[in-house]
Structure 1
Amino acid sequence: MEETFSLEHMPFPLLIKDILDARFSGILFLSHDEVKKGLIFKEGLLCAIQSNRTEELLGNILVALEIIGKEENEQSLAQARRERSKQGIILLEMGLVQPKQITQALRRQMETRFLDLFTWESGTIQQVEKPSITKEPELSRHDYFQLIRKGIMDLVPFSLVIDSLSSFAESRPNILAEQIPADLGIDTESLYEYTVSELLLLGQDPARALLALYCTGVASFQESKHKNLIDGLRSKLKQLKGQDPFDTLGVDRKISEGGLKRAYIRIVKEHHPDTYAYADDPEVKRLANDIFMEIQRAYNTVVKTIEGKQADEPSGIDETLQAELLYGKAMEHLKTKEYQKALDMLRLCVKMRPEERLFMESYARAMFLRFQNAGIGSPLEIKSSIRDGLQRFPQSDTLYVIWGWVLKKEGSKKAPEVFQKAYEINKNNVDAQRELRLYQIRENR
């Protein structure tokens, strides 16, 4: 059985966990830009790994280990190619290395090729099941798990750590082993005392440690109460990725402008992120936003196709549709941390539809993220925008949360009061819940 999917939807650490849990036997083919790798697994454990990266060739590994020099590497590699032999055999025949050194270098080569994959944020994966794998794993289970933990602790981009843990945001981890591995390099005794969202606020190391333990079977989480919804949204997103945009909107290529507008309004109402506002789960929100952005992309493409115009400038569309379109693009820019572009579009959304609370909240959130992550703007500017928003939407718990974040960043003692106000408006606001719990934890210490 073959399956093809993307690392953007299945981060490499979670992919490795799935392979372990399923005791998968077969081959994974991974590609990213020009780099291609093939991994062979038997019952979930790594047996071998091939790579076309030059720096991961055996000779270059031996040079890095200072066992041979660069000139010896080039000579042996050239001879291996002429004789269609393996470089390791040629090096042994030339008397430049000992068998133990080859074994050492092969081990380092496998580790290097494997650890590199933890840095990948995108790429395609082809998974081919082959139950008849006869090759035995090169690493013991203990050493393999240690290598996985090293990759997560040292190499995985933190954004992927957040994505990997986001579906368990309000869960507390269950530690399944009597003794936690000591190779994580941090104190892990209190990991189980916090929810995942709280750990993410404590810094990178605790979150990385938790993901490392989860991916190697030492920790587990209670399933989200919205698991069925999350599974459905993931399935929908997977369906939309790469789908013909006309199929996404459910229209044919002869659709009229009015028909396109009606189809778009229908699908926006069905899949707008606000539809899932009842689900207090960050993963639901993330998936809903991703689905909405796919719909926006499809709409852009259809408009461009049937009108022969740039999708950024759709004509004949009323302001409601334009605002929805701009909002989707703004969310894309926000996701890629292009804060100014997102703010410019959200400002237009607010101007076009001042009665839309979501636009005002998103605008304030983007201002805060720009200040927090890029150092652009000021707390005064953000608070002024929030006050304007609260005049229009006095019951916006989201605006109160953002206000609380600004006060917290300023070190103001009034922040808990503002988070409490958000919680009183909406007791299901997970951000307000988390902030209040963190303050409570600090007070109890």
Structure 2
Amino acid sequence: MTAPTTRPTTEGTFAKTPLPNVLLYARERKMTGTFVVRNPPPSEGADGDDGVGESVLVLEKGTIVAVRLPSFTQNLGWVLHDLGLLTDDAFIKVQQSLDAPGAEEIPTILRMRAADPTTLEAALREQLRRKVVALFGNPQGTYAYYADVDLLDGEDRARTPHDVFPIVWRGLQVAPPTEAAMAVVFEKIGQRGLRLREGHEFDRFEFGTELGLAATQLRSSPSSPEQLMGLAPDPALVRTMLYLLALTKQIEAVSLTSVQSSATASAETPITASLNVPKARTEPTSGPPSGEAAAAGSDLKAKEARAHLARMEHWTYFEMFDLTPSATMEEIRTRFPIVAAAWHPDRAGTNELRALYTEIFALYNSAFSTLSDTKSREQYEGTIAGGGGTPAAQKRVNAVLDTVQEAHRAEIALKRKDYVEAERMLRRVLETNPDDIAVNALLCQCLLETNPAPHLDDIVMRLAKIMRSTDSNDQAHYLMGMVCKVKGDKRAIGFFRKALEINPNNLDAQREVRIAEMRRDQRREQANNPVTKITNLFSNLFGGKK
């Protein structure tokens, strides 16, 4: 870094002016120059010119173009790997090369062909974001600004300047504003609703699906902060978003009384007809409903909710919004808050209804999260093409995965000789899939290794069914051989040999065949022994049965 030769244009502390405010002010004024951030601030009497603990941030017309921190471990190799642009093997090779003395990031990566210029540009932009975010959350820091000076002239930087808005949003998630700062903003809003101003730059913040319905609802119609916070898994995150939008003058407070009736009439009517969304009661009433009427109404709503939930089980995410797979992002954003908000749990009057609405609301939220992300949507459309894509289909997939995991745990229990637990888990798996060959074979093995006598008929039936369905299961033949051995049936050796023929590496079958052949050889040897022959002759002549 080139040491500044002039006094700073302005100086300050983050305790008085937090970093987000500094960056947003620079963006608004389209400032060009360099911020030098010191963390921690120099103590009294210390030499302030040694550069220790200094971070440098360069701006052009209010956008960030370069950042240097005193220490930053996430080199471009790490960033490329995190973005999925570098394989594990390539990442290891890049890190080894960058560890070499004097290695420079960009020339090294390009020389190794680990990334092309386009992916490298994406990595540089992401690395810049991470560096700036690392500066957040330091209220004890100080800054000095040098107008029209680039103290990092010639350093590596992204070709495209980086907008401050998405960086500040990411930084505020890491280090949220103080409650005092929040209180100032929300006291001004009071009980009024919020809506986006004309000519807003809402999309530049790159708000993600972590805000659930809140961001989409704000784009659609005026809403109170409480309503918006009720539409996201993390209300505090929505509060931070509203704070940032207020700070950047993207939203304005309005009276909800004048807009609520017209918004409800225009928004709910076309959607409720096609998606069976419960409609709000509009006819005047003479007073609150009686207890019996309220109960009847709740029962009817619960019945409607159960029926709607049952239909949703067989709908794709597109069908949930009454859209086709060719629907645009704008169409999805328009439909989502209207449909999902109609089933929000806060609209439920009973615990039963709340439970049903919560389940329905979660499905709509999951659908929107998937369809509003380009990569997730592409993967989901592939799932639909493969015959899946509905909650019911996903449950079938999950059930299969659960049984596979349970069977694996049972196999481990069997190896530990925990036969009771192994049998319990295997029988539970077979309740879901009674024809699973591997699980049936494991259950037979478990029963044979504990107390086979009471279960022999069941074991024989299961093994016979396996062998009828496939003649290539060596374990079934081995286990049938063990059943014969327990019964004293001479056919055991035939089953052991068949298992070995199917799989020469079946060690259990090898052992049983070897034992059987050893005993056969011993019998032959004894039968051919002269002493044994004379003993047998006298035994037959004088010691035989009378």
Work out which structure has the larger RCO, using CA pairs closer than 8 Å and 6 or more positions apart in sequence.
1
- Taking structure 1 as the reference length, what is the TM-score of the superposition? 0.40
Larger Rg: 2
- Taking structure 2 as the reference length, what is the TM-score of the superposition? 0.33
